[in-house]
Structure 1
Amino acid sequence: MARSINDLEKEVFALPREDRARIALDLIRSLDKDDEPISREEWEAAWREEIQQRVQDVHEGRVELVDAEEALAELRAKYKS
């Protein structure tokens, strides 16, 4: 008998953080089947570049930082059921 998604989810969330991260990365990669696969090193390099660009955007004033509590409050108000 196949396990339900809820049972599978409970098992996955019980795993250590590092194992959950690996599964999450593998799942995300599986969504990009049409894309050419990249190595973990390439993936990490691409994220480092993205992070550096975002930090530079902040330092050069191209983006406005918002307090996390303020942003969450706005989202809660917007999507309140």
Structure 2
Amino acid sequence: MPTVLRFNGLRAVIYPNDHRPAHLHVIGNGCEAVFNLHCPQGPPELRENYGFSQKDLAGIQAKLAEALLVACNEWGAIHGQP
């Protein structure tokens, strides 16, 4: 699973055998969340959360919004254009 972003001790990954729509799995601190990217305009949107606090999720969403073009390009490189 390629790690496409790292921030605040977390990893944002794209699974090579995953499905559309374009999304990232954010993993760390014993938690995981999935964000749909809504490429190329965004904003990233929480789809699933397993353990992150609302404060953590807001910070993650802000970081993903900053890196949206990188994330969308990485998704496209692995799965084709979103």
**Structure with greater proportional helix content:** 1
Return the index of the structure with the highest Cα Rg.
1
TM-score by length of 1: 0.28
Higher relative contact order, chain-length normalized (CA < 8 Å, sep 6+): 2
TM-score by length of 2: 0.28
**Structure with greater proportional strand content:** 2
